[in-house]
Amino acid sequence: MFSRYNKLFLRRFFSICLLAMGFPVVLSALHIIGGDMTYVCNGNGSYTITMKVYRDGDSGGAPYDNPGYVAVYNGFGNFVSQHTMTPTNISTIQPDDNPCVEFNNPPNVQTATYTITLNLPLSNQSYYISYQRCCRNETINNIMTPGDVGATYTVEITPIAQQFCNNSPVFNDFPPIVICAGEFINFDHSASDVEGDSLVYSFCSPLIGGGIDGGPDNPNGDPNGPTGVQPIPPTGPPYNSVTFVSPTYTPFTPMAGNPTILIDPQTGVIDGVPEILGQFVVGVCVKEYRDGVLIGEIRRDFQFNVITCNPFVDADIQADVLIGEDEYLINLCGDDSNLFINESLSDINSPTTYYWDFDLQNGSHATSTDTNFQVTFPGIGSYEGILIVNPQHPCTDTAYIHVNVHPAITADFEFSYDTCDAAPVDFTNLTVADAGEFTSTWDFGDGETSNEFSPDYEYLIPGDFEVSLFVRDTNLCEDEIIKPLSYFPAPNSLIIDASAFEGCAPQYVFFDNLSYPIDSTYFIDWEFGDSTFSNEISPTHLYEEPGTYQVSLNVVSPIGCEVEVPFNSSVIIRPTPTAGFSVNPESLTNFSPTAQFTDESIDADAVQWNFGDGSPFIYDRNPEHTFGTGTFEVVQVVRHESGCLDTAVYILNSELLVTYHLPNAFTPNGDGKNEGFKGTGYFEGITNFRMTIWNRWGELIFETSDPNEAWNGRKNNEGDLLQSGVYVVVVEYLEPSGNKVKLNGFATLLR
C-alpha cells in the first residue's frame, strides 16, 4: 500500500508546470525527442532491424518519415545498400492513471516503430545500419545549437556478432519525459539480452545526423543531401557527436544535480537529484560482452524535461540528512529521546491523518497518530521508523526514518596567560567524548583557527575575544563551547619604522608603529622633540625648522600594562635653500626669442637650469637663453651646502608671429622688375591660406592657396595680359595661434 513506486511516479509525472528559465510548456518546440536501433539474427545472414523513434507531437514539426530511409555500410564508409521503412504502431505515450496526479497541458509524446529484414552476408568487417533526421528541440539546455542538428540512430553488427548470429540487447523501458527538480530520480534504464551476455552501461554522447538544408531556416538547400533535413541515403560512419555546453555539461555528466545524475554501469539505474530546470539530451550506451570479449553495442538518446512539481502528498520530517527518496537520518548524541517534527504536505480534499511507527528492538514498537511524536529509545543503537501520511487513502506517502543514538560528547577547555605579557595563550582541551576519538576546531575570535588538540596561540591584536571550541567524534556527534578572553598586554618592545630619520626642512615624517599588540584603546604618547605631541598609533609629523630632535614613545594598555623598554630616537632636519628667479622678457616671439634669467634664490651654493627645450643643463647664476617657438617649462634647481634642494618652475611661452603685407601695384611688362603681385612678410606656420583677385565686374580672375605664388596679370595666370586698372584683392588665412585673418586690398596693374 505504501510503496516507494507511488512516490516516484508522483515526482515524475505530476502537473506539467511552466519552466522557470523562459521555457514554454515542457514539450513545446521542435521535433525529435529520442530513439534507438536494435537487431535480431534470424540465421543465414538474415537480420531484422527494429528502430524506435520518439517525437514531440505538439511541436508543429514534420510528421514521422513515411517512408524512412536507412542505409547499410560495410566498414567505415563502404556503401552497400539503401532501404525504406514504414512507421507502424504510431501512438501517444500516456502516463499511468493515478488519482493523485492532476495534469496541466499533459505531455504529447509520440512513438513509432520501424522494422526491416536485411540479408547481410558474413563479413570480416562490421555492418552499420543507420537512419538520420533533423531536428532536435531548439530549447535544449545542454548542447550547442540544438535546433540546427538532428540525430543519427545506428546499430553496428560486428564480425564476431555475425559469427555467433548474435541478437543485440533491447532496452526494457523508455525513460520518463518529465522529471521534477529537487526530487530524487531512480529510473531503471536496463536492457535485456536473450543470450544472457554481460551488459555494461554508461552515459555517452548522442550522434548528429542531418541538418537544416531544405528546411524553413534554409529553404534553398538540398533537403536530401548530407546536411539536409532527411539525408537520402543516410551518411556513413564515423558519426560526429553533439557538442555539449562545457564545462557545465559533458557526455558523461549531461545534467546538473546534487547528487549528480549518474548511471550505474552494472544495473543501468539512473539516479540523482536534478536541480536546474530545462531540457537535457542524454545518451546511454550498452556494451555487450561474451566471455569477456566485446561483441557489440547499442545506444539510445532521449530528452529529460526538468520542471517544478507540486505533489499532492509529501511525507517529510525535520531531519539532519536526506539520504534518499523520502529517507531521513537523525543522529542523537547523548540523548535517547527526540521530538520528531512533522513537515509533511497534503492537498487532498479530506482531513490529513498520520501514522508513526518506530521499532525499539526490544520486542516493542512506539506508535502514534499525532502530528508530531516524542519517542524515547532504549539506549545506544540504530533504530528504524516510518511516518505515513494519509494511511488507507489512495493518495498517500511514506517517510522512512533512520535514527542513530550515540554516546554524548561535551566540549570544554580552559586557558592561561600573563595578562601584561604579550606571549602566547595556552589553551587546554577538556572535552569529554564517550565514543573515544574526536576532532577539534578552535576559533580564536580574531579570524584565525586551529585543528590542534590543545594549541598555544599568540594574538597579534588586543581585544575581547569570543574563543570557541567545536568538537566532532567518529559518530559525527558534535558540540561547541564559547568562552570570553580579554587580551590587553603591553608590547614586549616598541618597533617603529619611520619614513625618514633624516631630511630637509620642511620635512613630513611618518612614524609607522609596528609594535603589537596595540589598538585605539591603548594610551599612546608621542613626543616629537619640538614641543609637539600626538596620541595617534602611527602619526605623521611636520618638522618645519632645521635641527636635531629627540623622539620618544610610551605605550600603556587599558589594564595598566606599560612597555618596559621605551622608544627613543633622533630625527635630523637639515636647512633647505629657497629657489626663485625672474625672466626678462616674460614672454617671447620668433622675432624676439632670447630671455635673460636672474637668480633670486636664497641660501643656495649651486644653481642648475633646465630650459625644457632639450638643450644641456646650465649652471650659471644668471644665464641667457634663446628659444624656438612653443611652450617651455623652465626649471631652476638650487642646492644648499647641507645637500638639500629646492626647485622653482616657470612656464615660458614663445609665440610664432606671422606678418603679411599686400603691395598696391605691380608692372608685369617684362623688364624683370615688380613682375608679379603677391604678399610679403613672414609666413611660417600659416594655414588655410587663400588669395582671390576680382575685376570691377565681380569676375574671379585669379585664386591661389600658396602665399608664395604671385599673380602675373593674366586670367588664372594664362593667356593675354589683362588691361591696366585696379583689381580687388581678398586674402584669408589662419595664424599659428588659430586666429582667422581676413585682408581686403587693391592691386593696380600698370603696363
Residue 239: pLDDT band (50, 70, 90) is very high
Share of the chain above pLDDT 70, in %: 93
**pLDDT at residue 102, rounded to an integer:** 53
CA distance 218 to 227: 11
Mean pLDDT of the chain: 89
CATH number of 409-487: 2.60.40.10
CA distance 665 to 724: 10
**pLDDT at residue 53, rounded to an integer:** 93
Task: Decide if 214 contacts 135 (C-beta within 8 A).
Answer: no
**pLDDT at residue 29, rounded to an integer:** 30
CA distance 349 to 734: 93
| Nearest-10 Cα torsion for 501, 502, 508, 510 | -20
Lowest mean pLDDT among 301-310, 431-440, 445-454, 623-632: 301-310
Count of beta carbons in the 10 Å neighbourhood of residue 239 = 18
Domain 659-749 class in CATH = mainly beta
**Does residue 24 have a cis bond before it (omega within 30 degrees)?**
no
**pLDDT at residue 565, rounded to an integer:** 73
Task: Decide if 552 contacts 532 (C-beta within 8 A).
Answer: no
Residue 44 has pLDDT above 80, yes or no: yes
CA distance 630 to 588: 9
For residue 342, give the nearest of 382, 363, 366, 370 by alpha carbon: 370
Residue 322 buriedness (CB in 10 A; 0-12 / 13-18 / 19+) = middle
For the stretch 517-557, pLDDT in tens is 999 999 999 999 999 999 999 999 999 999 999 999 999 99
pTM (2 d.p.): 0.48
Residue 298 has pLDDT above 70, yes or no: yes
Residues of the chain with CATH 2.60.40.10: 313-406, 409-487, 581-655
For residue 406, give the nearest of 336, 304, 510 by alpha carbon: 336
H-helix or E-strand spanning residue 7 = helix 4-13
CA distance 174 to 180: 17
Residue 403 buriedness (CB in 10 A; 0-12 / 13-18 / 19+) = buried
For residue 163, give the nearest of 117, 124, 118 by alpha carbon: 124
Residue 452: pLDDT band (50, 70, 90) is very high
HSE (CB half, 13 Å, CA atoms) of 410? Answer: 6
Taking residues 346-355, report their average pLDDT: 81
* Contacts of 94 by beta carbon, 8 Å cutoff, 6+ apart: none
Taking residues 312-341, report their average pLDDT: 88
Question: For residue 589, what are the β-bridge partners?
Answer: 655
C-alpha pair distances (Å), 114 with each of 84, 111, 224, 353? 10, 10, 20, 50
For the stretch 136-178, pLDDT in tens is 888 899 999 988 889 999 999 999 999 999 999 999 998 887 8
**pLDDT at residue 178, rounded to an integer:** 80
**pLDDT at residue 22, rounded to an integer:** 32
The 8-class DSSP code of residue 342 comes to: B
Residue 603 buriedness (CB in 10 A; 0-12 / 13-18 / 19+) = middle
- The helix, strand and coil proportions of the chain, stated in percent and rounded to the nearest 5, come to 5, 50, 50
For the stretch 490-500, pLDDT in tens is 998 899 999 99
Question: For residue 38, what are the β-bridge partners?
Answer: 50
CA distance 113 to 36: 10
* Contacts of 239 by beta carbon, 8 Å cutoff, 6+ apart: 130, 152, 154, 207, 208, 209
Q: Which fold has domain 496-564?
A: Immunoglobulin-like (2.60.40)
**pLDDT at residue 262, rounded to an integer:** 94
Residue 393 has pLDDT above 90, yes or no: no
Task: Decide if 389 contacts 347 (C-beta within 8 A).
Answer: no
CA distance 38 to 619: 99
Q: Which fold has domain 581-655?
A: Immunoglobulin-like (2.60.40)
CA distance 562 to 420: 8
**pLDDT at residue 179, rounded to an integer:** 82
Q: Write the DSSP assignment of 700-723 as a string of letters.
A: EEEEES-TTPPB-SBGGG-SSBPP
Residue 105: pLDDT band (50, 70, 90) is low
H-helix or E-strand spanning residue 162 = helix 159-164
**pLDDT at residue 311, rounded to an integer:** 66
Taking residues 728-732, report their average pLDDT: 95
Question: For residue 744, what are the β-bridge partners?
Answer: 730
Residue 594 has pLDDT above 80, yes or no: yes
For the stretch 1-30, pLDDT in tens is 233 333 333 333 333 333 333 333 333 334
Per the listing, cell 572535552 goes with: 431
Which residue did the predictor score with more confidence, 104 or 79?
79
Taking residues 739-743, report their average pLDDT: 93
Question: For residue 408, what are the β-bridge partners?
Answer: none
Per the listing, cell 627645450 goes with: 613
- Side by side, the strands of the sheet bearing 185-188 are 185-188, 269-272, 262-263
**pLDDT at residue 461, rounded to an integer:** 93
For the stretch 456-484, pLDDT in tens is 999 999 999 999 999 999 998 999 999 99
Any long-range contacts for 224-231 (C-beta under 8 Å, 24+ apart)?
228/134, 229/62, 229/133, 229/134, 229/135, 229/150, 230/65, 230/69, 230/132, 230/133, 230/134, 231/69, 231/132
CATH number of 313-406: 2.60.40.10
Task: Decide if 668 contacts 711 (C-beta within 8 A).
Answer: no
